[in-house]
Structure 1
Amino acid sequence: MFAEPSLTHRREGGHDVPLLLWRFPEPLLAVSSAVLGGGVGPREWLINASVAMSYARPDPDAHLAELAAGLGLTGPGIGLLTGVDVADVVTADEDGVRVYATVGLGAPILAADPQAIGFEHRPGTVNIVIGIPQRLSDGALINAVATATEAKAQALADLGLSATGTATDAVCVLCPAGGPVAAYGGPRSRWGAPMARAVHRAVRTGGVTNLATKRSWSDRAAGR
């Protein structure tokens, strides 16, 4: 149902820049907050691409569309960007649910910080991709995004961070487009409970590594 990603590269700025590519054997139903392919609907592929921490393009959706075209991808898909090296993706499995997380915590924030003014784009980013083996209703898909976000925030608390995420985090939940429909995606539902545990484990594991090394993809490319 949920194909494993391949690690590939594109040539950019004189470097081989990594990206993760999923090509789904058949279209999956997805809900996503991604800048490219966000919303609810069928999706045929997904990319999660590393970028430099200095990344400042005002059109990341167009950039991701260019990357997809360069890979020969057609049809509806999802595109994500992150400042970390996507080769460091963390995978977690729980009772049929599969989670992939790239965890960049260079710019953690509190969502409801009363001192926050404006928005400074820094692509550290926690990207979470989730595969669930049963068709979810549209409401359950949206509920699953909330559940995954709660589990991410719990992981960050366990890491000792006073943060709920970063300003550029994205979540994607994918499931079969057909078959019996599960109505719920909350943290005590059939699929929400194992998903929450897997997300928590993946984000916590990735966060430990990221906080210990503090390395972005840019640092790795520069040999730091």
Structure 2
Amino acid sequence: MNGPALTHRTENGRDEPVLVWRLPEPVLAISSAVLGGGIGPCGWVINGTVPMSYDRDDPADHLAGIAAGLGLSGPGVGLLTGVDVSEVVATQDTGVRLWATVGLGVPIRAAAPAETITPYVGTVNVVAWVPVRLSAGALVNAVATITEAKAQAIRDLGWDATGTPTDAVCVLCPFLENEEEYAGPRSTWGARLARAAHQAVLSGRSAPQPR
């Protein structure tokens, strides 16, 4: 799987960057994204920058419009973030490829006591490619593994946090006959995902943060 292309769109007088993965053939995806979330076929992925003041109540429709404007059709995954996606960090580990846009302007602890949190779109977005077919259970496990590695990196950076209110993950793999059943952090492919995600978040923290 090739990395994303960087393009731009104009919205409300602003020139906003967008990362676009145009996949040569459909793959299997699991995602927590607002557009294309769940498990299913995927032909493209976009990760677009929006202002930190973003408050639209129709982000899925917004992303669908961005995708259509880029000539994308069919099933895909759309992500949004308040960071400049041109600062994407790419890592890899023995066949695994991973891209992260890292915004830690609104760090939180997932199980913090109830409190009012303004969900600005700082966001750590992760898109990962695994070159083997993962079973449904392994896909779920892969998302958990990436999330654990992200939280580890955030703690290693000195933050008393596990992520932001709007983090999203997308894991892609090919449609092949033989399935890998495991993607936990000590499995072959899960360990590679974990290392790639950990390194991406550590590296991304040095990039410019949310505007």
Q: Scaled by the length of structure 1, what TM-score is found? A: 0.92
How far is 1:87 from its partner? 0.3
The secondary structure found in structure 1 opposite 2:8 is strand
1:166 paired with 2:127, answer no
Letter in 2 for 1:169: D
1:66 paired with 2:65, answer yes
1:134 paired with 2:105, answer no
Between 1:157-166 and 1:108-117, the stretch displaced more is 108-117
Q: Can you list the C-alpha shifts for 1:102-151, whole angstroms capped at 9, x where unaligned?
A: 0000000000001424x522000000000000000000000000000000
**What is aligned with 2:188?**
190
Mapped to 1, the partners of 2:205 and 2:88 lie a distance apart of 11
**What is aligned with 2:54?**
55
How far is 1:179 from its partner? 3.2
Mapped to 1, the partners of 2:90 and 2:115 lie a distance apart of 33
The secondary structure found in structure 1 opposite 2:42 is strand
Mapped to 2, the partners of 1:82 and 1:201 lie a distance apart of 20
**What is aligned with 2:10?**
11
Letter in 2 for 1:202: A
Q: Can you list the C-alpha shifts for 1:145-201, whole angstroms capped at 9, x where unaligned?
A: 000000000000010000000000000000001232100010011100011000000
The secondary structure found in structure 2 opposite 1:62 is helix
Mapped to 2, the partners of 1:177 and 1:138 lie a distance apart of 12
Contact 1:46-1:77 at 8 Å conserved across structures: yes
Mapped to 1, the partners of 2:132 and 2:103 lie a distance apart of 29
Letter in 2 for 1:60: P
Mapped to 2, the partners of 1:42 and 1:91 lie a distance apart of 23
**What is aligned with 1:22?**
21
Contact 1:96-1:133 at 8 Å conserved across structures: yes
1:181 paired with 2:187, answer no
| Percent of residue pairs bearing the same amino acid type | 61
**What is aligned with 1:149?**
147
Letter in 2 for 1:126: V
Letter in 2 for 1:178: L
Structure 1 segments, 4+ long, off by >2 Å, are none
Letter in 1 for 2:5: S
Letter in 2 for 1:4: G
Mapped to 2, the partners of 1:82 and 1:180 lie a distance apart of 35
Aligned residue pairs total: 211
Q: Can you list the C-alpha shifts for 1:53-102, whole angstroms capped at 9, x where unaligned?
A: 00000010010001011111110000000000000000001011001000
User: What RMSD, in angstroms, separates the aligned Cα atoms of the two structures?
Assistant: 1.0
**What is aligned with 1:113?**
112
